[in-house]
Amino acid sequence: MRRSRPWLLVVLVGAVLGVVFAAVSTYDFVQHLDRQVHNLHCSFLPGVSHSGESGCQVAMMSPYSSVLRGRIWGGVPISLPALSVFAFLVFYALDLALTRRKADPRATGFLALAAVLPALASLVMLLISLTQLGTTCKLCVCIYVASALCLVGGVALWRQAVGGRGEPAPARRRRHSEPRGEPAFVGRGHRDPEPRDATRATTGSDARLVALSGGGASAGFLAAAFAIGVGFVAVPVALYLAMAPDHARFIGSCEGLLHPEDPYGVMLRVDRASHDGVPAPAIEVLDPLCPACKAFEHRLAASGLAGRLDRKAVLFPLDSACNWMVTEATHPGACTVSEAALCAGDKAPDVIAWAFEHGEQVRDAARSDPAAAARLVKQRFPELASCVGSPEARSRLNKSLRWIVANNLRVLTPQLFIDKVKLCDEDVDLGLEYTLSAMLARHARGALAVVPAEKPAPGKPAGKAP
């Protein structure tokens, strides 16, 4: 007789690991619903926090980290249904152990099919991480491993159960066939006591019990398990949707543009609206070598909302070589690349796209050699060689910076204004789809406007205690 391997234990271990790491990932996502910046628990050890840029940060801020982003702020994190699926696998694996169905081909086959869901989702997310994000997060890798354990254990347990059905039954059978074990979550009814001379098969294999009982799990058992699995996912998601905070009240609460006109001709056409209907005028303040600007551009493109904007850009290089508002070169070489974009005219989007793609290379080169950015720009765009660095280009860039001053904007990139109303800085990542969709809807109704700041009550000077 073949020795039974503990494949159900493998499934249970994988499912518990999945619950732990999916719960940590969900917690990291949920804590950002207060619109503040928090450390992430990006580690192979649950609970160990990590600050700064990481694969977990990139993954969470990407459009692939959640669904229904246009309905609620941030959307529903995909780690929440993942947590629910792993919790169901723990529940079902324990039920198989308690009801001794681990040798039932139909019951174990359902477990194997249930384990396919997180495994497929993990494979898709791994491909997205490698091909779209260019990085992986440690929490995600742990969830991938947990999914693999569940799948391998589930399939192996099912194959073991199918093989066990072929074992010969004992020569002496029971006088009364043993009733089928009901699932633990359904309950057990009254059973006739077993005759004393009934031969037990527990000393050999649980498969003999299944063979003697005349069949595997009933259709009702499998239907009940499926319904419970759906409930494991649907209930937490429904509660999340119902309890998510309302962020619509923040729309228009950030500063607006005081002087959106362009008297110096420094605005660059980024793209024109491709959506039917009246496009919303938009002005984006950006630094062509800003990593956050590049990430924002990718999120905006993935949201599908860029086509509804008639977008222009105002360059705001965070480089002390030309910007007197910063004390150091946050993005070295940004002044040179900004001059190139201004010189390019209608081809400015090509320069900005090149800067986004090669930004790290340009920044690293300019950090050690300030003239390196000009060489790289002129090498890629030789037609701009005579313009970059000229007094005319520097004058236009200076006027672009003065436009920033005239509108009293923060030293920050990117910033997006829809018809003079700012998309709040807290909404440029997780809340982009929800907030921008709401702003465009209000603009279409003619209701988009800056919300006036609350004034102090009469007789109570601002900033003083009553």
Banded model confidence at residue 205, pLDDT cuts 50, 70, 90: very low
Mean of pLDDT over the chain: 84
Q: Tell me the mean pLDDT in the region 164-169.
A: 54
Q: What phi and psi values does residue 270 have, to the nearest 5 degrees?
A: -90, -55
Phi, psi of 445, deg, nearest 5: -90, -5
Given a cut of 90, whether residue 178 has pLDDT beyond it is no
Largest Cα separation within the chain, whole Å, is 105
pLDDT of residue 22: 95
Q: For 50-75, what is the mean pLDDT?
A: 83
Q: Is the pLDDT of residue 214 over 80?
A: no
- Cβ within 8 Å of residue 255, ≥6 positions away: 408, 409, 422, 450
| pLDDT value for 24 | 93
pLDDT at 56: 84
Task: Name residue, tokens 């020569």.
Answer: 171
Q: What is the value of pTM for the model shown? A: 0.77
Query: Over the stretch 439-449, which tens digit does the pLDDT of each residue have?
Result: 999 999 999 99
Of 195, 280, 243, 288, residue with least CA distance to 73: 243
Q: Residues with Cβ < 8 Å from 58, sequence gap 6 or more?
A: 133, 135, 137
> Could you tell me which of 145, 160, 78, 77 has the C-alpha nearest to residue 111?
160
d(CA 39, CA 49): 6
The arithmetic mean of pLDDT across residues 282-298, rounded, is: 94
Q: Tell me whether residue 465 is exposed, middle or buried, using C-beta atoms within 10 angstroms of its C-beta: 0 to 12, 13 to 18, 19 or more.
A: exposed
Query: Going from the N-terminus, what domains does the chain have, and what CATH number goes with each?
Result: 7-243 (no CATH), 250-445 (3.40.30.10)
Residue type, 397: L
pLDDT at position 197 is 44
pLDDT, tens digit, 9 for 90 and up, residues 326-362: 998 899 999 999 999 999 988 999 999 999 999 999 9
Give 114-127 pLDDT, tens digit per residue: 999 999 999 999 99
- What does the pLDDT read at residue 459? 45
Whether 464 and 456 have beta carbons less than 8 Å apart is answered as no
Instruction: List, for residues 388-433, the tens digit of each pLDDT value.
Output: 999 999 999 999 999 999 999 999 999 999 999 999 999 998 999 9
Contact 324, 378 (CB under 8 A): no
pLDDT band at residue 101 using 50, 70 and 90 as cut-offs:
confident
Could you read off the pLDDT of 308-328 as tens digits, one per residue?
999 999 999 999 999 999 998
| CA 425 to chain CA mean position, Å | 18
